[in-house]
Chains A and B, each alone.
Chain A
Amino acid sequence: MNSIISMIFLFIGVLFIVLGCIGLVRLPDVYNRLQAATKCVTLGICGMLIAVMVEKGFSPMSGKALLCMIFILITSPTSAHAMARGAYRSKVRLCKNSVCDYYEFGRPEEAEKQPLECECKNDKS
């Protein structure tokens, strides 16, 4: 029974990781890609670690899995935030069909607005 439940969690985890990778290829610019990568991969890894915990029960290995899960839940969004901020600071523009960019208004010292350069590879519109 435990093994069946753990298999289900493992399947869900792998499914979300696959969806995240598809998103990484399909979405247009850096920020959208980071969104897909962060969310799906975090839940995917959490699903796999929960599968380990269900399979092993109350044992040393599930303790380590719990530790890994907490660590990933804290560090994964933080690193995504750092990458997005670094990308914006090094002047990576948003993709062409973006609707608004308040970050530029928020920093008055860089008021001269550069035109939005398109970085979309598969822009349908």
Chain B
Amino acid sequence: MCLKIYLKFFFILLICWALLVWPFQDSPGIIEKWLLGILVCAFISYLELRNVSKNSLHFPLSPLRLYWFIRFIIKFAYLMVIANLDVAYRVMHPDLPINPGIVMVKTELKHPLGRLMLANAITLTPGTLVVEMTDDGYLFIHWINVISKEENIIKKTIVLPFEIYLKKAFD
């Protein structure tokens, strides 16, 4: 299993390296570049394997999970454009219509990677910014326009649009 995680990490890094040295033909020193890349990727993934906890990178891959992850990306892209228009409206409005505060909400996601995706998605969507995430799944979110302090409504507005997809993709 250790080797599997190592190889997964190695190939992800190698794909990034391949994108960086893309012009494969008629470029000088391509063999040296690839040798250097493979060496560095092997070394970095060895270091990461020692530091990162073993089960944080272990996720099962399947087409169904990939489908839900793509659905999540589409939803995220849509909400990100909405978020930017929302912030633009608030910034350009002469009265600066903000109503900020920090609210608390609980998430049911268990997988570290899923939680990372959730926190990043919440930060990039309308008027919300994750200030802290505790180990037992509580999120403290700075909200630019607090419409309610009840946890149900907060959860339905902020967390649930992503959680339903991420739950199917990672848990």
Q: Do most interface residues of chain A lie in helix, strand or loop, or is the interface mixed?
A: helix
* A88-B131 in contact (CB<8A): yes
Within 8 A of B (CB), among A81-115: 81, 84-85, 88, 94-95, 97-103, 105-106
Task: Kindly supply a per-residue 1/0 record for chain A positions 19-34, scoring 1 wherever the CB is within 8 Å of any chain B CB and 0 otherwise.
Answer: 1101100111101101
* A98-B84 in contact (CB<8A): no
* A35-B87 in contact (CB<8A): yes
Our pick among B96, B100, B138 for the contact of A98 (Cβ within 8 Å) is: B100
Residues of B near A85 (CB, < 8 A) are 131-132
Chain B, residue nearest A81 (CB):
B130
* B102-A101 in contact (CB<8A): yes
A80 within 8 A of B: yes
Chain B, residue nearest A95 (CB):
B100
* A94-B101 in contact (CB<8A): yes
CB distance from B4 to the nearest CB of A (A): 23
A120 and B45 alpha carbons, distance in the complex (Å)? 46
A19 and B88 alpha carbons, distance in the complex (Å)? 6
Q: Do most interface residues of chain B lie in helix, strand or loop, or is the interface mixed?
A: mixed
* A67-B100 in contact (CB<8A): no
Residues of A near B167 (CB, < 8 A) are none
Q: How large is the interface on B (under 10, 10 to 19, 20 to 34, 35 or more residues)?
A: 35 or more
A66 and B19 alpha carbons, distance in the complex (Å)? 9
* B138-A40 in contact (CB<8A): no
Residues of B near A88 (CB, < 8 A) are 131-132
Residues of A near B80 (CB, < 8 A) are 39, 42-43
B168 within 8 A of A: no
Chain A, residue nearest B23 (CB):
A60
CB distance from A63 to the nearest CB of B (A): 4
A78 within 8 A of B: yes
Top 6 A-B pairs, shortest CB-CB distance = A60-B22, A77-B123, A23-B91, A102-B104, A100-B101, A99-B101
Taking A64-B20, A124-B96 as known contacts, 8 extra A-B pairs with beta carbons closer than 8 A to each other, sorted by chain A number, are A28-B96, A31-B100, A31-B131, A32-B98, A35-B128, A60-B23, A67-B19, A73-B124
Residues in chain A within 8 A of chain B (CB atoms): 16, 19-20, 22-23, 26-29, 31-32, 34-36, 38-40, 42-43, 59-60, 63-64, 66-67, 73-74, 76-78, 80-81, 84-85, 88, 94-95, 97-103, 105-106, 122, 124
Cβ contacts A to B, 22 pairs, < 8 Å: A31-B129, A32-B98, A32-B144, A35-B128, A39-B83, A42-B80, A42-B124, A43-B81, A64-B20, A73-B124, A74-B120, A80-B129, A81-B123, A84-B130, A85-B132, A98-B102, A100-B103, A102-B103, A102-B140, A103-B104, A103-B132, A106-B140
